Structure 1
Amino acid sequence: MMRFASVTDRLAGLGSDKWAVHIRAREMKRAGHDIIELTIGEPDIPTPVDMIDVADKAMRAGRTGYSNGRGEPAVLAALSAKYTARTGRQIDPENIMCFPGTQTALSLVMLGLAEEGDEIITGDPLYATYDGVVRATGATRVSVPLRPEKGFRMQAVDLEKVITPKSRVLLLNTPHNPTGAVLSAQEVAEIGEVCRKHNLWIVSDEVYELLIFDGKFTSPLDRAELAERTIAVASISKSHAAPGFRSGWCVAPKEFTRRLLPLSESMLFGVQPFIADMTAYALGQPSEAAATMRASFLRRAQKISQRLDGVAGIISKVPQAGMFILADIRATGLSGNDFAMRLLEEEFVAVMPGESFGENLSGYLRLSLSVADDKIDAACAGIVRLASRLQQRKSA
C-alpha cells in the first residue's frame, strides 16, 4: 500500500466538507432548481473598471513575467505608505510580503510560527478554513469561547484561561467572520497584554477592515508595544471587490519576513506583476467599492433582522461589520446543519449552518449579505415558513 504524508490525514474531513449545503445547492441549481444562495461571502458588485483597466494596461505593457519572492516594488511601496500612516510608525517594504490572497498569507505565516507539539489559539466561532490552516502546521487548535452576551468579541479573561506552556500563537480576527464582531481598542489592548505576558505571537486577520458599520477598526499591529509580536494579514478581495485576483499580504517584524521568505519562495516565488500594479493603484486611493458594499450590506442586515428577529423564536441582530448576519434558530429544535439542509430541500434557500464555524455556533445559521434585496426578501420568507412549520409541530 502506498504511503502518504501525515498532513493529508490531519486535513481529512476539512475543506469542502464544511460546505456541504453550498455544494448541494449548486447541484440542485445545475438540475434546474431556482436556488437563492446566501452561503458564500463574495462581493456582489463587479471589480471596479479602473482597477481592471490598470491590470489590462500592465499586461499589454508586458508585465506578465516572473516576480520576486517578496513583492513588486510598487505594491510594497503602497503597502508601506498605508501601514505607516495607519500605525504612526515607519513600516518598510522589508516588513511586508505579498501573497495570492489572505488564505495563502495565513497558511504560510502559520507554517513559519508553529509546528507539531505547539498550540494555536483561535476564537470559537471561527472562519471555516482556520482549522485547516492550524492542522497543516501539525499544531493543535485550542478554542476561546466567543460569548454571545459579549457580542462574540474575544475577552482577555477567556483567552488567559486556555493558555498553556505549549501555546505559541493567537489567531485573531477583527472584524470577525462569521459574527461581524469588531474588537474595541480596550479589548485589543487587554488581549495584547495577555499575549505579552505569555510571549505569544498575534496573527491578526484584517480582511474586513473597511467593512465596518458600527465601531472603529483597531488592530494590535497599530499598538507599538505589540509590534514585535504581531503579524497582520489582509487582501483586496473584500475591500475592493476583487476576490478572483488573489492579491494579499502580511505585515510583520523584519526578522519574521526574512525567515519566512525562503519558505514562501519554495512554494510561490511571487505574485503576478500586473496584479501587483493593480493592487498598488487600488491602495493609493479610498475604496469606493468598500463604501458601496458597506451601505448595501448594512441595509440588508437591517432588513433581515427586521424580518426574522423575534419570529418563530429566531434571534437575529444586526452585526457590527462584514458581509454576513447570524440567525439563532435553536428554538426550532433543529441543529444548524439540519435546518439548513431542510431549508434548501423544502424552500430552495441555501445558507451556511453555524456548525461549519465551530461548536459555539451550533444551532445558528450564517446568511450572506452579498445578494440582491429581492432575494433577501424571498430567503427570509422561506426561513420564516420553515421555522413556523417547526414551531407548529412542536406545539402540536
Structure 2
Amino acid sequence: MKFAAITERLAGLGGAKWEIHNKARALGRQGRDIIELTIGEPDVPTPETLVTAAIDALARHRTGYSSGEGEPGLRAALAERYSQRNGRPITPDQVMCFPGTQTSLYAVMTGLVQSGDEVLVGDPMYATYEGVIRATGAKMVPVPLRPEHGFRMQASDIESRITPQSRVIFLNTPHNPTGSILTADDIKAIGALAIKHDLWIISDEVYEDLIFDGKPFTSPLSLPELADRVIVASSISKSHAAPGFRSGWCIGPQAFTTALLPLAETMLFGNQPFIADMTEQAIRDGSPVARGMCQRFAKRAQHLEKRLTTDTALTVHQPDAGMFALINVSATGMNGAEYALHLLEHGGVAVMPGASFGASLTNWVRVALTVDDTAFDSACDRIIQHAHALQMETA
C-alpha cells in the first residue's frame, strides 16, 4: 500500500527526537530512580480560577460549534492585549484561534509556503519546527545561532542564506531551547531584510510571559513598517500553566487571516467554546503564576551554573527566559546524544540531547528547570558525581 509523500517528509521526526525521554519513562516504570529534566512542563498546576471558568462554561452548555476564526470574545480580548502591548491597533479580524501554538504554526506555515519554497529558521530550534516546515513540502534552511552572539539570530547570517526561493523568516523569541531574547536592534535588522527581500516573518512568542527580571522584549509585531508581513503565534500553555487545554492563536495582517480561514475551517472549524471562554478570562486577567515561574526558573538556572562551574568542566549557558538551560558537555569527550544516554543509564538523570534541536547543539544537552528545588538540587548532585566518575575513567 502507498502513503502520501508527507509521511516520507516527516519520517524520523516527531517521536524519534524524544528517544531519551521515552527511555527514561520506561526505566521509571521498571522502578529505577530517574529525575526527568527533559520536558518543559510548568511546575505548577493550572490556576483554579481558570479550571473553574472552564467548568462554568461547560455548565452553560458552551459546547456547540465555534466559528472557524475563534470565539468573538476571545478574539476581542486578544486584539485588545496585542494593541496595548504593541502600541498600535490590532483588530479582532487579525486574530485566529487554534488548539495550541503547534496547530497555529502548522496552519500558518501551510498558508504561506509550499514545495519549492524555503524557510529560514534558527539552528538550534524547537523540536517540532522541522516537521512544521517539511510537512508543507518547503525546504528548511538552518541559520546558525552562535554562542558568541548569545544564541540570537543575526541578520548577516540570515542574509547569506537568502535565495530567490526564500519566503519566510521563522523566529522564536524568547527562544527554546536557548532562552535567548532577540533585542530591538536584532528585530529591526531582521525586519529590514524581510522588507528588502519581500519575506514573511513568523514569530513564535509562547514564552513571552516567562522573561526573567530586567530583560526587555521586542516583538516584530510592534514595528509599523512590518505590519503587512508579520504573524505572531502564541498560547496560554506556558504563561498560564495550561498546556493540556490546547488553546492558542495567531495574529497577522487581515489579508492573511482572511486567506487562512478556509484552511482553518478545513482543519477543525474552530476550537471549543468553553475553552475559549476560559482563555478569554486568562487573557483579560493576566497570569497569576507566570512571575513565580520566572523567579524559580531563573534561580534554578543560576544554581545549575554555579554548581557545575565550581565542581566540573561542564559549562552552562544562562537563559534570559523560558524553562530550560543548556550545558556544553564537550569536556567529557562525548557528544550530547552520547552524554545524555550515559547520564541516564549511569547517573539517573534524563536530559535532552542538543542535537534534537539542531546540528549546532551537537555537543550540548538541554536541561528543564521545571522540577522542584529539592529534585533539581539532587539532579545537580548526580550530574556532578557522574562527571567525576567520567573523569576518573579517562584519567
- In 2, Cα distance between equivalents of 1:145 and 1:309: 26
The reply on whether 1:305 has 2:298 as its aligned counterpart is no
Alpha-carbon distance in 2 for matches of 1:227, 1:385:
52
Q: How do 1:147-186 residues align onto structure 2 when only pairs under 5 Å count? A: 147-186=146-185
Q: Which amino acid aligns with 1:223?
A: L
Question: Residue type matched to 2:318 in 1?
Answer: V
8 Å Cα contact 1:109/1:260 also seen in 2? yes
Structure 1 spans left out of the alignment, 5+ residues? none
TM-score, length-scaled by structure 2: 0.98
The whole-number CA distance in structure 2 between the counterparts of 1:54 and 1:242 is 13
Letter of the 1:80 counterpart: A
Residue 78 of structure 2 corresponds to residue 102 of structure 1:
no
Instruction: Map Cα deviations across residues 35-77 of structure 1 (whole Å, 9 max, x no partner).
Output: 1000000101010011111111000011111111001011011
* 3-state SS, counterpart of residue 326 of structure 1: strand
Give yes or no for the alignment of 1:203 onto 2:202: yes
Question: Does the 8 A contact of 1:309 with 1:317 survive in 2?
Answer: no
Following TM superposition, by how much is the alpha carbon of 1:285 offset from its aligned partner in structure 2, in angstroms?
Answer: 1.9
Deviations 1:289-337 (A, max 9, x none): 1111111111111111111125432111321110000111111010111
Aligned to 1:218: 218
The question of whether the paired residues in 2 share the 8 Å contact of 1:36 and 1:379 is answered with yes
Q: Is the 8 A contact 1:97 1:249 kept in 2?
A: yes
Q: Distance in 1 between matches of 2:84 and 2:57?
A: 27
Preserved contact between residue 97 and residue 257 of structure 1 (Cα < 8 Å): yes
CA contact 1:84–1:90 (8 Å) conserved in 2? yes
CA distance in 2, matches of 1:215, 1:167: 32
Query: Secondary structure, in 3 states, of the residue corresponding to 1:122?
Result: strand
**Separation in 1 of the partners of 2:227 and 2:29?**
49
Per-residue deviation, residues 225-255 of structure 1 (Å, max 9, x unmatched):
0111000000000001000000000000111
Task: Show CA shifts across 1:187-229 (max 9, x none).
Answer: 1101111111111100000000011115211110110001110
> TM-score when scaled to structure 1?
0.98
Q: 1:66 — aligned with what? A: 65
The alignment partner of 1:284 has SS state of: helix
Q: Does the 8 Å contact 1:170/1:203 carry over to 2?
A: yes
AA aligned to 1:63 is: R
| Inter-partner Cα distance in structure 2 for 1:10 and 1:154 | 26
- State the distance in 2 between where 1:87 and 1:355 align: 35
Output the amino acid matched with 1:52. V
1:246-278 Cα shifts (integer Å, max 9, x gaps): 000000011111111101111110101010000
How far the C-alpha of 1:380 sits from its partner, in A, is 1.1
Q: Is the 8 A contact 1:178 1:357 kept in 2?
A: yes
Alignment of 1:248-327 (within 5 A): 248-309=248-309, 311-327=311-327
Partner deviation per Cα, 1:2-58 (whole Å, 9 max, x = no partner) = 111000000000000000000001111111112100000010101001111111100
Q: Which residue of 2 aligns with 1:124?
A: 123
Identity between Structure 1 and Structure 2 (%): 56
* Conserved? CA contact 1:312–1:391, under 8 Å: no
Could you say which residue in structure 2 is the equivalent of 1:229? 229
Q: 2:92 maps to what in 1?
A: 93
Q: 1:18-33 alignment to 2 at 5 Å?
A: 18-33=17-32
Name the Cα RMSD after superposition: 0.9
- How far, CA to CA, are the matches of 2:48 and 2:249 in structure 1? 23
Q: Secondary structure at the match of 1:313?
A: coil
Distance 1:157 1:364 in 2: 24
Give the equivalent residue in structure 2 for 1:115. 114
**C-alpha contact (below 8 Å) 1:181/1:320 kept by paired residues:** yes
The alpha carbon displacement at 1:392 in A equals 2.7
Q: Is the 8 A contact 1:184 1:215 kept in 2?
A: no
